[in-house]
Amino acid sequence: MAAEEILGQGGILSSVDSGLVLSILFIAAIAIWFIGKQIRARGKNAKTEPAAITAPPGTGADIIAAITAAVNEYRKNGSQ
């Protein structure tokens, strides 16, 4: 095999591989976009209710009250 032939085949192989990788990335981007669209659509229809706060047995009421107050404060002020 001549060097020119090897380089030619290497160039073709590189082009095919690059095209394959770009195709996979494009398909992945479309899939992520579609899944995100589905999640947003389902999120608009979902009813958001606060989760019930439960604690393991033996946890004091004052600790539960402190955690509840901290969560409410965090929700009011956001994460800054």
Where along the chain do its domains lie? 1-48, 50-80
Six token digits for residue 20 = 């394959």
Residues 63, 54 contacting (CB under 8 angstroms): no
Predicted confidence band of residue 41 (pLDDT cuts 50, 70, 90): confident
Higher pLDDT, 58 or 66: 66
- Where are the alpha helices (H) located in 1-80, listed in sequence order? 3-45, 61-77
Mean pLDDT value across the chain: 84
Judging by beta carbons within 10 Å of its beta carbon (0-12, 13-18, 19+), is residue 60 exposed, middle or buried? Answer: exposed
Say what the pTM is.
0.48
Predicted confidence band of residue 58 (pLDDT cuts 50, 70, 90): low
